[in-house]
Structure 1
Amino acid sequence: MKTMKRSTLVIALLALVIVVAAGLWLTRKPAEPGAADKAAPAAKGPAQRPALTVSVAKPEATELTVTLAANGNVAAWQEAVIGSESNGLKLAEVRVNVGDTVKKGQVLAVFSPETVQADIAQARASLAEARASAADAAGNAARARTLQATGALSQQQINQYQTAEQTAKARAEAAEAVLAAQQVRGRNTQVLASDDGVISARTATVGSVVAAGTELFRLIRQGRLEWRAEVTSAELGRIAVGTPAFVVSASGAQVKGKVRSIAPTVDPQTRAALVYVDLPNVQQNTGVKAGMFARGDFELGRSAAPTVPQSAIVPRDGFNNVFTLLPDNRVAQLKVQTGRRLKDRVEITSALPEGVQIVVQGAGFLNDGDLVRVVDATPTAATPPATPATPAASAAVAK
């Protein structure tokens, strides 16, 4: 009995499965004709579009300046020390300060002249007294010589009068020398500039009593500065007297100078020699001061070199790169080395393929292998920014 019930249940389940399968078969939609053909293009995807519209150019040969870089200090061409020639006098007036331009013979400071004037007056009085004595002795000697023939005076007395005359004359000359020395002291109460130039230092203080030889001022003679460039012995032969040089100070000020002289010896420690470059007037170049450290370039001549526009150089990962155009309108990234610059053009020192075309406009938005559309560069003063050709450009920039 139980076996019969189990067989009936199995038959019912099989019938149910057959009914469900038949229903699913009847409800399915027939396949559309050509569906397989439509699926094939969909698998291939849409045709790739250019990532960016760019302009290209070939490297041009440009005449550039050949330079030699160097570093060095800026110093005064010659510095004069102006000191006191008076001893024990009080400084009454200081008429100049640091940075003032002065002329040769200009009064820089004045000492109190009262003591010197009193000494001059005393020297004049002593001179007058000595001259009076000399005149009296000369008269006595003249009278003695007139009486020599008469025998009224002995030869010894006549010699005494003549000796007295010579002694008085010598005393008068000594008094004149003393007066002259006092007058020199009087002139030294005024401190004068020894040359044209610019005051670079001042230690003179009103009211101080200084000894002879004490430094009061320092003067940059004729306002001239020089750049003392250090050049290696290997490069020294490329520089000659008269070579132009551009000096750039730490503040960014640029000054053009000219080589005045080259040191005859080389430092045995650094193997470098000093090259002295004359700079223009210090007052006309406020950005260049004595004591500054400056870099500069010597202009050694001119030469032709391949150059590309500045916009074609793309710095990435610490290197300079350019994008070259391939025959299939794709670009290839090429690492290059740059050199000299002239306005908006940059020298390429590394080797470039012959006939290569460099992407100029839009190079900064590209990646290696991008497909581009090439247009002619517009000859305008300012190159407009690159315009993406399709929305795909946004994806290129995002990369």
Structure 2
Amino acid sequence: MFALLAGLTLTAAMVRADSADKKTVGSKPVLTVRMIQPKSMEWAQTIAANGNVLPWQESSIGTELGGLRLTQLNAAIGDRVKKGQVLARYNDATIQAEVAQAKAALAETEAALGEAQQNANRVRQLGNTGAMSEQQKTEAFTKEMMAKARVQSAKAQVASAQVRLSQTRIVAPDDGVISARSASLGAVSQPGQELFRLVRQARLEWQAEVTAAESNRIKAGQTVSLLLPTGKTVQGTVRNIAPTIDMKTRNVLVYVDLKTAADPLAEAKPGMFAKGQIAIGQTRALALPGSAILLRDGFANVFVLQADHKVKQVRVKLGRQADGMMEVEGLAPNTSVVASGAGFLADGDVVRVVK
């Protein structure tokens, strides 16, 4: 914060004339100065926080099949993929045979159903003519119902085989970036085995840690400025605040959506530790240019104009800084302050004021 005053600290070190010389000067002005008044400005209120950059959501992509050999790999770490894109394929010859067998069984049951329906229809046409016994009627209707059930079962077998066939193709569940790949060409699958990890939609978030007191001042939608280890600055927006406090750190997590470039992972990387500022609002405060502030004996001071054109050294407290202006506390809004050259003045000096 005091970098803005570096030039002035040099002038503060200049040796003034001794007391005998000052007495000879008397009431003559020692410096011609311009006076200013503190400016009322809108200052952004921020909360400083630290945290990790992580994927918004990371999907684990695996297989549900076992005993099949991986024959094709179409994605590598860092690849951007689209939803439904084929990432890998397993040998599907066995599953293709199962599908063909299930379809053949379905055709057989459908033929049997056709025959059973014809027999049942003849029974219905005869009705109550007495040409068939009740037992024969019941038997014909039962065979028709059983044939229908066998067709439904065969259709289910075909659908099951087709599902297994589709599982030999490993597809991306969403748009994103491949962040890890454990699949190996030629490896035999195991049910539940992870093959890829996907950063969904290539979205990143910053998980900032704040105190419980600070969390009450943070709301969804507030803007965030994040300084990455690379020196780049990334903007973000508060998405959510955790409803619980971590029992170990006593801190609250704040989830911030990062607004990055077309290739987010080119700017930020999951796992980065970063510092940021969460903007929680604005307040009005008095400010002075850095040229009006003097560092002396480790404190910030200004010279204010009093009666008879004399100046008085007043200690102030510095706050935020922006665009060459520094927030000051300890001054009234209508105070006349020496605009520059404070390093050449001492308490009680007489000055000549110019507009």
Paired residue for 1:223?
A: 202
Q: TM-score, normalised by structure 2?
A: 0.73
Paired residue for 1:251?
A: 230
1:39-118 mapped onto 2 (5 Å cutoff): 58=36, 60-63=38-41, 64-118=43-97
1:223, 1:282 within 8 Å by CA — same for their partners in 2?
A: no
- Which sits farther off after the overlay, 187-196 or 279-288? 279-288
Q: Equivalents in 2 of 1:69, 1:272: separation in Å?
A: 13
Question: What is the deviation of 1:289?
Answer: 2.4
344, 366, 386: which one pairs with 2:324? 344
2:39 alignment partner AA? A
Question: What is the deviation of 1:179?
Answer: 0.8
* Higher relative contact order structure (alpha carbons within 8 Å, sequence separation ≥ 6): 2
Paired residue for 2:107?
A: 128
**Helix, strand or coil: the match of 1:265?**
coil
Aligned CA distance change for structure 1 residues 132 and 360 (closer, same or farther; 3 Å): farther
Aligned CA distance change for structure 1 residues 259 and 99 (closer, same or farther; 3 Å): same
Q: Equivalents in 2 of 1:57, 1:153: separation in Å?
A: 122
Question: What is the deviation of 1:191?
Answer: 1.8
Paired residue for 1:241?
A: 220
1:259, 1:275 within 8 Å by CA — same for their partners in 2?
A: yes
2:283 alignment partner AA? S
1:61, 1:304 within 8 Å by CA — same for their partners in 2?
A: no
Question: What is the deviation of 1:178?
Answer: 0.6
Q: Equivalents in 2 of 1:196, 1:173: separation in Å?
A: 37
2:324 alignment partner AA? D
1:323, 1:359 within 8 Å by CA — same for their partners in 2?
A: no
Aligned CA distance change for structure 1 residues 355 and 136 (closer, same or farther; 3 Å): same
- Which sits farther off after the overlay, 71-80 or 158-167? 158-167
1:56, 1:360 within 8 Å by CA — same for their partners in 2?
A: no
Question: What is the deviation of 1:274?
Answer: 2.0
1:14-33 mapped onto 2 (5 Å cutoff): none
Paired residue for 1:295?
A: 275
Q: Equivalents in 1 of 2:131, 2:284: separation in Å?
A: 109
Task: Count residues in correspondence.
Answer: 324
Question: What is the deviation of 1:283?
Answer: 4.4
Paired residue for 2:116?
A: 137
Question: What is the deviation of 1:278?
Answer: 1.8
Q: Equivalents in 2 of 1:263, 1:375: separation in Å?
A: 57
Question: What is the deviation of 1:182?
Answer: 0.8
**Helix, strand or coil: the match of 1:210?**
coil
Q: Equivalents in 2 of 1:300, 1:203: separation in Å?
A: 43
Question: What is the deviation of 1:216?
Answer: 2.1
Paired residue for 2:336?
A: 355
Q: Equivalents in 2 of 1:79, 1:57: separation in Å?
A: 60
Structure 2's unaligned 5+ residue stretches are: 1-19, 26-30
Paired residue for 1:187?
A: 166
Q: Equivalents in 2 of 1:333, 1:69: separation in Å?
A: 33
Q: Equivalents in 2 of 1:282, 1:84: separation in Å?
A: 33
**Helix, strand or coil: the match of 2:174?**
coil
1:208 equivalent in alignment to 2:187 = yes
Aligned CA distance change for structure 1 residues 374 and 322 (closer, same or farther; 3 Å): farther
Aligned CA distance change for structure 1 residues 237 and 162 (closer, same or farther; 3 Å): closer
- Which sits farther off after the overlay, 298-307 or 249-258? 298-307
Question: What is the deviation of 1:145?
Answer: 5.5
Q: TM-score, normalised by structure 1?
A: 0.66
Aligned sequence identity (%): 42
Q: Equivalents in 1 of 2:93, 2:353: separation in Å?
A: 91
1:166 equivalent in alignment to 2:153 = no
Question: What is the deviation of 1:284?
Answer: 4.2
Greater radius of gyration (CA): 1
2:212, 2:251 within 8 Å by CA — same for their partners in 1?
A: yes
2:320, 2:327 within 8 Å by CA — same for their partners in 1?
A: yes
2:237, 2:258 within 8 Å by CA — same for their partners in 1?
A: yes
- Which sits farther off after the overlay, 178-187 or 265-274? 265-274
**Helix, strand or coil: the match of 1:245?**
strand
1:243, 1:300 within 8 Å by CA — same for their partners in 2?
A: yes
Q: Equivalents in 2 of 1:350, 1:341: separation in Å?
A: 16
Paired residue for 1:276?
A: 255
Question: What is the deviation of 1:93?
Answer: 2.0
Paired residue for 2:28?
A: none
1:342 alignment partner AA? A
1:108, 1:193 within 8 Å by CA — same for their partners in 2?
A: yes
1:330-353 C-alpha deviation (Å, 9 max, x unpaired): 999987653212123333446699
Q: Equivalents in 2 of 1:81, 1:360: separation in Å?
A: 65
2:292, 2:337 within 8 Å by CA — same for their partners in 1?
A: no
1:326, 1:332 within 8 Å by CA — same for their partners in 2?
A: yes
Aligned CA distance change for structure 1 residues 118 and 311 (closer, same or farther; 3 Å): farther
